[in-house]
């Protein structure tokens, strides 16, 4: 499962191509960050590379990985400023048995708020788009 070929029809590839909607936080020619539609906490963000067709961490060329992790740090900083969480997790799943459900390499940034438990990974109802947009606006303003 760690050797799966990249499938251009995965949902994140469709978001990159504009074939599926997403509440975007940041985009340039290489990086896209957007709100997770099944958030585990308020401000749960995803960061992906737009041109590296990597399924998981082992597939990605190191220059692209560096661009990705730099973006993760920048977005996490904007989440700190914009949403004022008490902490955050950076999570990244490799292979279905490890919990990966979308097979385009991505990093989760999951804000942690003291006293508030996290939702389950990839579970529950999709979040309200207006609520996601309001959080994304606060994050974008801090970038």
- Pick the binder of ligand 5GP from 33, 41, 56, 100 (CB under 6 A): 100
- Pick the binder of ligand 5GP from 10, 30, 37, 138 (CB under 6 A): 37
Catalytic residue among 44, 49, 104, 106: 106
Token pair belonging to 36: 């997770």
Q: In the block, which residue shows the tokens 């340039």?
A: 28
Alpha-helical segments (H) within 24-125? 62-83
Of 60, 134, 121, nearest in space to 89 by CA: 121
Site string for ligand 5GP, 40-59 (x = CB under 6 A): --------------------
Query: Is residue 34 close enough to count as binding ligand 5GP by CB under 6 A?
Result: yes
Token pair belonging to 75: 């977005």
Q: Is residue 106 annotated as a catalytic residue, yes or no?
A: yes
Q: How far apart are CA 17 and CA 12, in angstroms?
A: 9
Q: What is the largest CA-CA distance in the chain?
A: 41
- Pick the binder of ligand 5GP from 6, 10, 30, 38 (CB under 6 A): 38
Q: How far apart are CA 99 and CA 17, in angstroms?
A: 25
Query: Is residue 11 close enough to count as binding ligand 5GP by CB under 6 A?
Result: yes
DSSP 17: H
Q: How far is the CB of 49 from ligand 5GP (least distance, A)?
A: 14
Identity of the residue, 41 or 100, whose beta carbon is nearer to ligand 5GP in the bound complex = 100
Write out the catalytic residue numbers: 106
- Where does this chain bind ligand 5GP (CB under 6 A)? 11, 20, 22, 34-38, 93, 99-102, 122
């Amino acid at each position: 499962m760690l050797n799966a070929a990249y499938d251009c029809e995965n949902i994140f590839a469709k978001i990159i191509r504009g074939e599926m909607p997403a509440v975007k936080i940041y985009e340039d020619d290489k990086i896209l960050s957007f709100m997770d539609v099944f958030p585990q906490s308020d401000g749960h963000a995803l960061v992906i590379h737009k041109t590296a067709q990597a399924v998981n961490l082992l597939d990605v060329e190191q220059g692209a990985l560096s661009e990705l992790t730099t973006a993760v740090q920048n977005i996490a900083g904007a989440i700190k400023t914009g949403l004022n969480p008490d902490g955050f997790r950076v999570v990244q799943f490799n292979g279905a048995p490890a919990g990966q459900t979308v097979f385009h390499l991505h990093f989760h940034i999951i804000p942690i708020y003291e006293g508030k438990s996290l939702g389950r990974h990839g579970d529950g109802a999709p979040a309200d788009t207006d609520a996601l947009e309001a959080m994304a606006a606060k994050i974008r303003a801090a970038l």
